[in-house]
Chains A and B, each alone.
Chain A
Amino acid sequence: MILIEDVSKVYHTRQGPRTVLDHVNLRLEPGRNVGILGRNGAGKSTLIRLLSGAERPTSGRIQRKMSVSWPLAFGGAFQNHLTGLDNLKFVCRIYGVDYKPLVPFVEDFTELGVYFREPVSHYSHGMLSRLAFALSMAIEFDCFLIDEAMVVGDARFHERCHIELFQKRRDRAFILVSHEPNVIRTYCERACVLVNGRLHEFDNVDEAYAFYEAMPAGPPPAVET
């Protein structure tokens, strides 16, 4: 279970404090999922960062009674001088997992060939995305954090991600953030809408969708932090 209790996040900007998340509450049971809809700057990525533990809430707290992934397909933690294999080993060490049984899966999914044993700095964008996604799949978390904007690639890549995540791991929990209602509608059983840092919960995706569509465009969104 993940329990977000009264969480706020305030960033200090040149214009003074800016509340990005405002007393947010959310509960997610194992094996369930929730989509979070929000326009640019609504605080989606901030919520993902807090959930992953990269940043801490300004107030309130987040309880995690199941293992939570790093944001899916996030490749920012790669060390450029290390090879793909080294990065796999590193991630496995961090999570206390033996890397050897995972090598065939990662090699197969990433289709890196000889590049698997070359420094990550020589990789193309596509190769990086595939490696990042494969590493996310290599460690078996109870709950995956998915920032839809982070998972970029061609149609075939998306298809394979879909199979790995939503078919082979359909028993897992996940939190999916997106500004695209159709993505949420396709994958999630319920949805919340994030507006100006406040989270509105709905029992089903259609209600959330209706709310999201009816929402006034509001002030021009700030750049997503």
Chain B
Amino acid sequence: MSTPTDSVQGSGTSLWRSLMIQRRVIGALMMREVITRFGRHNLGALWLVAEPMIFTLGVAAVWTAAGLNRSSGIPIIAFAITGYSSVLMWRNTVGMCSKAIQNNLNLLYHRNVKVIDVLITRIALEIGGASASFIVLTIIFVTAEWIHPPLDLMRVIFGWLMLAWFGSALALTIGAATAYSHIVERIWAPTAYLLFPLSGAAYMADWLPTAAREVLLLLPMVHSVEVIREGFFGGVVRYHYDMAYMAMCNLGLTLTGLWLVRDAGYRVEAE
């Protein structure tokens, strides 16, 4: 039989060894999650990309059919890809994290598994999935010459990373909050629907009247969507963003999330 590699799990655990254990645990959880979610007989982990891809294609098709593509000088397919991929980033990470703690309570019987590991696993998988689908979609459409390649790739990546940070922080906060009360997930569901059109996926800030724009720019994700699109299309419209504001929001959400996760760790009651 085999002895656990960290057979002494005492108070003397160094930070480095804790990190190694955590890395291993998250790796194991990810593997488990991927096999569970996608199975191994069909397309496997490809669904991580294929699922959002089908959705983006559908949205692009509807918008093209509705003739929205000629109204603004903005390339509609690139607009749809950037918009919907951005929504997936925060909507799916939060979606996968709400109820994640309750659904995985029994894993906590393994000493090394902590509440935060469960959340990090799901966040990482969702960010990976959303990023992979965004990249693959872009490559496919560029290759097919339906869209131009991004003008300023670094800017796109910057916007995307800021959005990933936002998604992670929001997922930590809401994921941990669902451990307190079922009401949180009930409220989150309609909120997510409401946020979809408001999040910047379906408009450019410049198209809006100034008053409306100022209100909508309170939503942190709008800023990163603007940055991603500026990187993608360049100067076809004026872009409105304040990344320092978004960073402050992200930081606040991250700290709130970490605090809630820590507190939830003390409150969980296993079965």
Q: Which residues of B contact A (CB under 8 A)?
A: 1-11, 21, 24-25, 27-28, 31-32, 35-36, 39, 105-113, 265-266, 268-271
A31 part of interface (Cβ distance < 8 Å): no
Cα of A101 to Cα of B85 in the assembled complex, Å: 44
B109 touches A77 (CB 8 A): yes
Query: Nearest Cβ distance between residue A52 and chain B, in whole angstroms?
Result: 5
A window 49-108: CB within 8 A of B: 49, 52-56, 63-68, 70-71, 74, 76-77, 79, 81-82, 86, 89-98, 101-102, 105
A140 part of interface (Cβ distance < 8 Å): yes
B31 touches A56 (CB 8 A): no
A137 part of interface (Cβ distance < 8 Å): yes
A76 touches B1 (CB 8 A): no
The answer, among B9, B105, B266, for a CB contact under 8 Å with A67, is B9
A-B pairs with beta carbons under 8 Å apart, 30 shown: A53-B111, A55-B108, A55-B269, A63-B10, A65-B8, A67-B4, A67-B9, A68-B9, A68-B111, A70-B110, A70-B111, A71-B109, A74-B109, A77-B106, A81-B39, A86-B35, A90-B28, A92-B2, A93-B24, A93-B25, A93-B27, A94-B24, A94-B113, A95-B2, A96-B4, A97-B2, A97-B3, A101-B2, A102-B2, A137-B1
B270 touches A49 (CB 8 A): yes
Contacts of A82 in B (CB 8 A): 32, 35-36
The answer, among A55, A64, A98, A142, for a CB contact under 8 Å with B2, is A98
Contacts of A97 in B (CB 8 A): 2-5
A54 touches B108 (CB 8 A): yes
Cα of A97 to Cα of B2 in the assembled complex, Å: 6
If A65-B10, A67-B7, A74-B109 are given as contacts, then 10 extra A-B residue pairs at C-beta distance below 8 Å, sorted by A number, are A64-B9, A66-B10, A67-B111, A74-B106, A79-B32, A79-B36, A81-B39, A82-B35, A93-B28, A94-B110
Query: Nearest Cβ distance between residue A140 and chain B, in whole angstroms?
Result: 5
Contacts of A96 in B (CB 8 A): 4-6, 21, 24
A166 part of interface (Cβ distance < 8 Å): no
Cα of A82 to Cα of B108 in the assembled complex, Å: 18
Write the chain A residue with the least CB distance to B10.
A65
Contacts of B108 in A (CB 8 A): 53-55
A26 part of interface (Cβ distance < 8 Å): no
Q: How large is the interface on A (under 10, 10 to 19, 20 to 34, 35 or more residues)?
A: 35 or more
Contacts of B32 in A (CB 8 A): 79, 82, 86, 90
A138 part of interface (Cβ distance < 8 Å): yes
Q: Which residues of A contact B (CB under 8 A)?
A: 11, 49, 52-56, 63-68, 70-71, 74, 76-77, 79, 81-82, 86, 89-98, 101-102, 105, 137-142, 225
Cα of A67 to Cα of B32 in the assembled complex, Å: 24
Query: Nearest Cβ distance between residue A161 and chain B, in whole angstroms?
Result: 15
Contacts of A11 in B (CB 8 A): 269
Contacts of B109 in A (CB 8 A): 49, 52-54, 70-71, 74, 76-77
Write the chain A residue with the least CB distance to B13.
A64
Give the one of B21, B28, B32, B109 with max A CB within 10 A.
B109
A90 touches B269 (CB 8 A): no
The answer, among B5, B8, B270, for a CB contact under 8 Å with A54, is B270
Cα of A105 to Cα of B270 in the assembled complex, Å: 30
Cα of A71 to Cα of B108 in the assembled complex, Å: 11
Cα of A98 to Cα of B109 in the assembled complex, Å: 20
B110 touches A91 (CB 8 A): yes
